[in-house]
């Protein structure tokens, strides 16, 4: 018998065939139900050592996955970000196996991979100690050494509930009740069974390097009304060298922690009596914030934005009309004012819309671009608060663009250019771009119809392509009212930080009747763009502190120059130097304390002051200054005029390479 397109001969037996399409477009026929691993062995057996998982028709699967129908197939290999995510998620299962074997009384929660590694949540009455983590790591090494397979199992919802109920795993039972319709997927490695959609590594031995990092408290599902769990954090890699590099970066990140440097440099504080998640700017930090705001406002005005200010509270009815109450209520702070419900504003868009609607608008006026350094308040659970990086009250460089459909693509391109300019000004040249769209399986959680979403997404994609920006498509990450472009800057330690967001909104203009009079003398709905480039200024300053290790570029340094007289006899000359610098609007301090020069220099360096000017008898006689740079050390003798010229040029350059 001769095999047709639907049949293939294997070991003398005719089997039904399926067609496989590879990423390069080439095709071949394979026996139906062949596993991905078996297929790789046919293609190139040496690839198996690098293969982690696969993507079949766009869905991530294990190497044990049987190919049942004509499919597009892609192999996920070591070296790809997806492979590392799978490695880390698999390591979290190894962690859970080790914990449950060592501490049988423990109940398990969830254990995902995250950007900085993985974690697993456990319920245990006794806190885990550093000694416990050492024991857990040792057991994990034993499990990895055994090279135990990750086995995928499918069963009915009822069977899964019975399995975890018998194990008294109440959190797993709760998740299955919520997440599973009919079919449950579980994974088994050694003695441990977990409810999990996968995929996983073929076996535990594929994890070549890992480290448990810390233990922290975390409420079940992030809800303060639920039991407190213990969250063990770790990270995993495919090579020991990658782990060593990561641990070195971790140590450097600890030294740069913005909370530590914020105290040391007297920039800000989070006061216990002042409320969690609320930032108290100290004079130096407030000055940095002011300098950033001043620069941002000037650059916005150059680009045709109009400066506005809106109240901190607004009636709840306004937020109900806008739809925010439906989708955003759990982030809002309600207030009662004369028996009427108000809300501390969680965003500025509704206020900007009211200003726009204060009179009739013509197409000739568009685009209208409003910007505001607007302070907003959002309820974040205490467990996620983190210094200035995650707070409850913050100020945004917020703006809204009201334009016609024809103007939209050009406005998005201009925003991308503006973003690049601002990020580079602050010293960030590398960033990643994500296109966040709705979850196609959960359209009910988003406002608007299919046509509107497709139109909005297309406009953002076209702008990204016009600027040749590569991007990652993120399904399910859109806001409820439209798709968005998110930009993550990369700092000096190689870490990504979400800052810029450009969001298209086809929802609010319709709900709140935000219109303009077109050329046809009829009303038309505006196209509305929400955008913040630096985002939360609190968060951005926290990022800057860590990016520069507290050594701000000269234009942002709270104190740019400290003048150090070598003795009291030269105080007046120090004051004279200071007054001449201040004429040029340079920020100076004079250290007049009765201490040794070396101590004063060291103190200035600890405070990250960019320049130290030493003045003594020689400098006073010649009318010069001895200049020491924080970055370059002793620079020698300068005339005051030449130093001022140097420092002003450096200020004009804005950011320097950290």
Whether residues 495 and 586 fall in one domain: no
Task: Give the three-state DSSP class for 144.
Answer: helix
Beta strand pairing call for 183-189 and 527-536? unpaired
pLDDT digits (tens, 9 = 90+) for 300-348: 999 999 999 999 999 999 988 888 887 778 889 999 888 899 999 999 9
CATH of the domain at 322: 3.30.930.10
Sequence-distant (≥ 6) Cβ neighbours of residue 303 within 8 angstroms? 369, 414, 418
Q: Into how many domains does the chain fold?
A: 4
Whether residues 575 and 460 fall in one domain: no
Residue 1, in any domain of the structure: no
Sign of torsion over alpha carbons 54, 56, 59, 65? negative
Whether residues 290 and 403 fall in one domain: yes
Q: Name the pLDDT band for 1 (thresholds 50, 70, 90).
A: very low
CATH of the domain at 633: 3.40.50.800
Q: Name the pLDDT band for 3 (thresholds 50, 70, 90).
A: very low
Per-residue model confidence (pLDDT) at position 658 = 41
What is the DSSP secondary-structure string of 18-64? EEEE-TTS-EEEEETT-BHHHHHHHHHGGGGGTEEEEEETTEEE-TT
Q: Which whole-number Å values give the CA distances from 565 to 427, 555, 558, 621, in the listed order?
A: 33, 24, 21, 14
Asked about 223 being catalytic, the answer comes back as no
Asked about 378 being catalytic, the answer comes back as yes
Give the mean model confidence (pLDDT) for residues 123-128. 95
Query: Which of 87, 349, 403, 551 is flagged as catalytic?
Result: 349
CA dihedral in degrees (440, 443, 445, 448; nearest 10)?
120
Asked about 186 being catalytic, the answer comes back as no
Whether residues 491 and 381 fall in one domain: yes
CATH of the domain at 55: 3.10.20.30
What is the C-alpha separation between 468 and 3, in angstroms, rounded?
47
Residue 503, in any domain of the structure: yes
Cross-strand bridge partners of residue 118: 113, 234
CATH of the domain at 104: 3.30.980.10
Residue 555, in any domain of the structure: no
Q: Choose the final residue of a domain: 26, 47, 77.
A: 77
pLDDT digits (tens, 9 = 90+) for 560-577: 999 999 999 999 999 999
Q: Choose the final residue of a domain: 491, 519, 547.
A: 547
Query: Which of 55, 206, 488, 530 is flagged as catalytic?
Result: 530
Residue 181 clears pLDDT 50, i.e. is over it: yes
Per-residue model confidence (pLDDT) at position 8 = 56
User: What percentage of the chain exceeds 90 in pLDDT?
Assistant: 74
Task: Give the three-state DSSP class for 619.
Answer: helix
Whether residues 440 and 521 fall in one domain: yes
Domain around 415: 268-547
Whether residues 123 and 272 fall in one domain: no
User: What percentage of the chain exceeds 70 in pLDDT?
Assistant: 97
Number of H helices, E strands in the chain: 19, 34
Q: Between 537-547 and 283-302, two packed helices, what is the crossing angle to 10 degrees?
A: 110
Residue 2, in any domain of the structure: no
Whether residues 14 and 104 fall in one domain: no
Residue 263, in any domain of the structure: no
Residue 477 clears pLDDT 90, i.e. is over it: no
Give the mean model confidence (pLDDT) for residues 588-607. 93
Query: Which of 194, 398, 491, 505 is flagged as catalytic?
Result: 398
Per-residue model confidence (pLDDT) at position 11 = 52
What's the CA angle centered on 96, arms 94 and 101, to 5 degrees? 95
Asked about 400 being catalytic, the answer comes back as yes
Q: Choose the final residue of a domain: 226, 254, 282.
A: 254
Whether residues 244 and 279 fall in one domain: no
CA dihedral in degrees (549, 550, 556, 561; nearest 10)?
-120
Whether residues 536 and 588 fall in one domain: no
Residue 262, in any domain of the structure: no
What is the C-alpha separation between 570 and 40, in angstroms, rounded?
79
Whether residues 14 and 46 fall in one domain: yes
Whether residues 408 and 543 fall in one domain: yes
Whether residues 504 and 588 fall in one domain: no
Residue 356 clears pLDDT 50, i.e. is over it: yes
Residue 658, in any domain of the structure: no
Residue 5 clears pLDDT 50, i.e. is over it: no
Query: Which of 88, 172, 378, 531 is flagged as catalytic?
Result: 378
Residue 171, in any domain of the structure: yes
Asked about 530 being catalytic, the answer comes back as yes
Asked about 484 being catalytic, the answer comes back as yes
């Amino acid at each position: 018998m001769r095999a047709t397109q639907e049949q293939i001969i294997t070991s003398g037996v005719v089997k039904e065939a399926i067609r496989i399409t590879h990423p390069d477009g080439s095709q071949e026929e394979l026996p139906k139900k062949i596993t991905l691993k078996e297929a790789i062995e046919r293609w190139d057996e040496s690839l198996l050592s690098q293969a982690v998982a696969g993507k079949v028709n766009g869905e991530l699967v294990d190497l044990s996955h049987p190919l049942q129908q004509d499919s597009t197939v892609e192999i996920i290999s070591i070296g790809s970000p997806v492979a590392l995510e799978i490695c880390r998620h698999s390591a979290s299962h190894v962690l859970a196996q080790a914990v449950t074997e060592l501490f049988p009384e423990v109940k398990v929660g969830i254990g995902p991979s995250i950007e900085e590694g993985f974690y697993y949540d456990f319920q245990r009455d006794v806190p885990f100690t550093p000694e416990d983590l050492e024991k857990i790591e040792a057991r994990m090494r034993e499990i990895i050494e055994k090279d135990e397979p990750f086995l995928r199992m499918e069963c009915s919802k009822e069977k899964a509930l019975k399995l975890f109920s018998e194990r008294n795993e109440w959190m797993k039972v709760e998740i299955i009740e919520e997440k599973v319709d009919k079919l449950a997927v579980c994974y088994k490695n050694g003695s441990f069974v977990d409810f999990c959609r996968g995929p996983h590594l073929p076996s535990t031995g594929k994890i070549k390097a890992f480290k448990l990092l810390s233990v922290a408290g975390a409420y079940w599902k992030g809800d303060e009304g639920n039991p407190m769990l213990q969250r063990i954090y770790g990270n995993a890699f495919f090579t020991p060298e990658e782990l060593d590099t990561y641990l070195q970066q971790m140590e450097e990140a600890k030294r740069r922690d913005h909370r530590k440097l914020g105290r040391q440099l007297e920039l800000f504080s989070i006061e216990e009596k002042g409320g969690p998640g609320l930032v108290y700017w100290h004079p130096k930090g407030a000055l940095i914030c002011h300098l950033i705001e001043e620069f941002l406002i000037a650059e916005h005005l150059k680009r045709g934005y109009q400066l506005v200010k809106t109240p901190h509270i607004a009636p709840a009815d306004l937020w109900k009309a806008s739809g925010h109450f439906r989708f955003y209520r759990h982030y809002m702070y309600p207030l009662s004012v004369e028996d009427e419900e108000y809300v501390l504003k969680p965003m500025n868009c509704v206020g900007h819309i009211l200003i726009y609607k204060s009179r009739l608008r013509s197409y000739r006026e568009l685009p209208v671009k409003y910007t505001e350094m607007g302070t907003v308040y959002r309820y974040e659970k205490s467990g996620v608060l983190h210094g200035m990086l995650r707070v409850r009250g913050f100020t945004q460089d917020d703006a809204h663009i009201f334009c016609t459909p024809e103007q939209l693509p050009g406005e998005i391109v201009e925003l991308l250019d503006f973003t690049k300019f601002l990020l580079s000004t602050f010293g960030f040249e590398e960033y990643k771009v994500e296109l966040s769209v709705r979850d196609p399986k959960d359209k009910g959680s988003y406002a608007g119809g299919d046509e509107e979403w497709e139109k909005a997404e297309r406009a953002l994609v076209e702008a990204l392509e016009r600027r040749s920006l590569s991007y990652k498509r993120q399904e399910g990450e859109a806001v409820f009212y439209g798709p968005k472009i998110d930009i993550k800057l990369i700092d000096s330690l190689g870490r990504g930080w979400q800052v810029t967001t450009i969001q298209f909104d086809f929802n609010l203009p319709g709900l709140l009747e935000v219109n303009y009079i077109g050329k046809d003398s009829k009303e038309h709905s505006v196209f509305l763009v929400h955008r913040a480039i630096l985002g939360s200024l609190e968060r951005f300053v926290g990022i800057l502190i860590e990016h520069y290790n507290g050594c701000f570029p000269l234009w942002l340094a709270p104190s740019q120059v400290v003048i150090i007289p070598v003795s009291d006899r030269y105080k007046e000359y120090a004051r004279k130097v200071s007054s001449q610098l201040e004429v040029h609007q340079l920020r100076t301090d004079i250290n007049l304390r009765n201490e040794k020069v070396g101590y004063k220099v060291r103190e200035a360096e600890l405070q990250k002051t960019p320049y130290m000017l030493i003045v003594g008898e020689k400098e006073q006689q010649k009318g010069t200054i001895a200049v020491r740079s924080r970055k370059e050390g002793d620079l020698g003798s300068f005339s005051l005029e030449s130093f001022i010229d140097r420092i002003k040029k450096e200020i004009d350059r804005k950011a320097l390479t950290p």
